[in-house]
């Protein structure tokens, strides 16, 4: 009796296993579901570089806006902070560049956001170019690092590449000459 029960149990397991391994064929009237082709991806429209538009104050408290670009074929905007050693280190180089090229249609605008220590840093470096207080309009040009430098033409249009980090006088001069043509 035990043998019969074992054989019956084995046959049941065998039949169950065989049935689980089969897949049901679709009924003859069923048609396969149409497959959707992925929609073609469109290239995003090229975005224009943002123009520099702002309203803020100079370090001395007087009003300033994008009209400060008028009359200069190239404006270098250098974002710096008084607590940043590379920023402080390049200020004398930038001042020398400004002195050498300001009569050739070039200007530098310094931009800072930290009040504490700025006056001392600017005085020690002998900065004579315009220095602006940071405003939200400059957010689009930030990289998260200082110093960061961008260049604009007289119309306020971004030109050249964004430069992250400090540079020597010779490196800045090479970039300025290239952008001024």
Return the H-helix or E-strand segment holding 86: helix 85-101
Per the structure, how many domains does the chain have?
1
Give the orientation angle of helix 85-101 with respect to helix 169-180, to 10 degrees. 50
The answer to whether residues 80 and 146 touch, using CB atoms and an 8 Å cutoff, is: yes
Instruction: Report the pLDDT value the prediction gives residue 3, as an integer from 0 to 100.
Output: 58
Q: Residue 24 domain-assigned? A: no
Question: Is residue 14 a part of any domain in this protein?
Answer: no
Range of the domain at 73: 55-180
Q: What is the pLDDT of residues 131-149, one digit of tens each?
A: 999 999 999 998 999 999 9
| Model confidence pLDDT, tens digit, residues 40-70 | 444 444 445 457 789 999 999 999 999 999 8
Residue at 145 is within a domain: yes
What is the mean pLDDT of the segment spanning 2-17? 44
Q: Is residue 90 part of a domain?
A: yes
Residues 6+ apart with CB under 8 A from 92: 125, 126
d(CA 136, CA 66): 14
Specify if 96 maps to a domain.
Answer: yes
Q: Is 12 inside any structural domain?
A: no
Residue 46 lies in a domain: no
Q: Which domain CATH number covers 87? A: 3.40.30.10
What's the pTM? 0.72
Do the beta carbons of residue 77 and residue 152 sit within 8 Å?
A: yes
Number of C-beta neighbours around residue 176 at 10 A: 19
With a pLDDT cut of 70, the percent of the chain lying above it is 72
The verdict on residue 50 lying in a domain is no
CA distances from 49 to 46, 69, 121 (A): 9, 17, 32
Structure confidence at residue 2 as a pLDDT band (50, 70, 90): low
- How many residues comprise the chain? 181
Count the helix, strand and coil residues of the chain and give each as a percent rounded to the nearest 5.
40, 20, 40
């Amino acid at each position: 009796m035990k043998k019969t029960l074992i054989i019956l149990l084995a046959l049941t397991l065998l039949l169950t296993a065989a049935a689980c391994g089969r897949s049901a064929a679709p009924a003859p009237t069923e048609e396969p579901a149409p497959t959707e082709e992925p929609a073609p991806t469109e290239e995003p429209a090229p975005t224009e570089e943002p123009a520099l538009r702002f309203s803020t104050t100079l370090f001395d408290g007087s009003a300033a806006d994008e009209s400060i670009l008028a009359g200069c074929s190239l404006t270098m905007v250098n974002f710096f902070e008084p607590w940043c050693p590379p920023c402080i280190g390049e200020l004398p180089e930038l001042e020398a560049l400004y002195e050498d090229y300001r009569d050739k249609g070039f200007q530098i605008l310094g931009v800072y956001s930290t009040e504490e220590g700025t006056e001392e840093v600017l005085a020690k470096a002998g900065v004579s170019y315009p220095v602006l207080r940071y405003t939200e309009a400059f957010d689009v040009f930030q990289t998260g690092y200082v110093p960061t430098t961008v260049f604009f033409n007289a119309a306020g249009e971004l030109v050249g590449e964004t430069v992250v980090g400090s540079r020597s006088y010779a490196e800045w001069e090479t970039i300025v000459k290239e952008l001024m043509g």
